[in-house]
Amino acid sequence: MTGPGRPRLVESRRPGASGREEILDAAGELFVTRGFAATSTRAIADSVGIRQASLYHHFPTKESILAALLDSTVEPSLRYARTLADLGGDPALLLWALTAGDSWNLLTDRSNLGRLYLIPEADAAGLSAFHAKRRELHGIYRTLAAQVVADPKDPRCALPVRVTESVIAIRADDPTMAAPADGPLPASAGLVADSALRILGIEPTDALREAGTALVATHRHAAPPPGDDRPE
């Protein structure tokens, strides 16, 4: 047995260390390739090779699977963004590092889950925690951008996060743009970060890119600081 519930019907064929992660992996693939409404919990269980009862042990509803998947697309980036904002220092450098690390995150999940952001079911009430996190993440982008241009009312402040999220459409049109989660910063993530600064009128220097790449490497997988009691 790999976890709670009934014994598996078949060998695991999914990435993921736990039954929960295998369910998320299978559901993400099916939601993106067939659609949320067209995917049953039965189809997800079949794809993992478990019984539906085992799936319900982890997730009471299909909506709760969608909530967990969408959360997984913002939670690591939000934690990373909070870490960068707490560091302080040159806002252009912090914004470059945020844009590079966040777009890297969006390039790594196996199924390009950001495609689910715009489906109507993502507006459901049960997804309010995801939306709150995404709003907080967007707010950190805006705050850093406002510091870069020294004007919180500059309408350009809304754009850097949109450039980051454009990697979702880039991957949807060209699946080869997906990048491994580890290894060096993908060139496309650096390009997106350069673009975010250029929109704000800053031409990134090689020194800024180097320092930004180091920040990404050090902090992108940072755990929450001990005693961090901000609501997640």
Please report, as ranges, the residues that interact with a second copy according to CB under 8 A: 32-38, 115, 117-121, 155-156, 158-159, 162-163, 165-166, 168-170, 172, 187-188, 191, 195, 198-199, 201, 203
Q: Kindly tell me which of 9 and 37 has the beta carbon lying closer to a second copy.
A: 37
Q: Nearest 5 degrees, angle CA 176-CA 178-CA 179? A: 120
Q: How far is the CB of 204 from a second copy (least distance, A)?
A: 11
Q: Kindly tell me which of 86 and 151 has the beta carbon lying closer to a second copy.
A: 151
**Separation of alpha carbons 191 and 171, rounded Å:** 15
Q: Kindly tell me which of 38 and 53 has the beta carbon lying closer to a second copy.
A: 38
Give the DSSP H/E element, type plus range, for residue 155.
none
**Separation of alpha carbons 74 and 22, rounded Å:** 19
141 phi and psi, to 5 degrees? -55, -50
Reading phi first (left if > 0) and then psi (alpha if -120 to 50, else beta), residue 227 is in: left
Q: Kindly tell me which of 18 and 33 has the beta carbon lying closer to a second copy.
A: 33
Q: How far is the CB of 213 from a second copy (least distance, A)?
A: 17
**Separation of alpha carbons 86 and 188, rounded Å:** 26
**Separation of alpha carbons 225 and 232, rounded Å:** 13
Q: Kindly tell me which of 129 and 170 has the beta carbon lying closer to a second copy.
A: 170
Q: How far is the CB of 50 from a second copy (least distance, A)?
A: 24
Q: How far is the CB of 12 from a second copy (least distance, A)?
A: 25
Q: How far is the CB of 152 from a second copy (least distance, A)?
A: 16
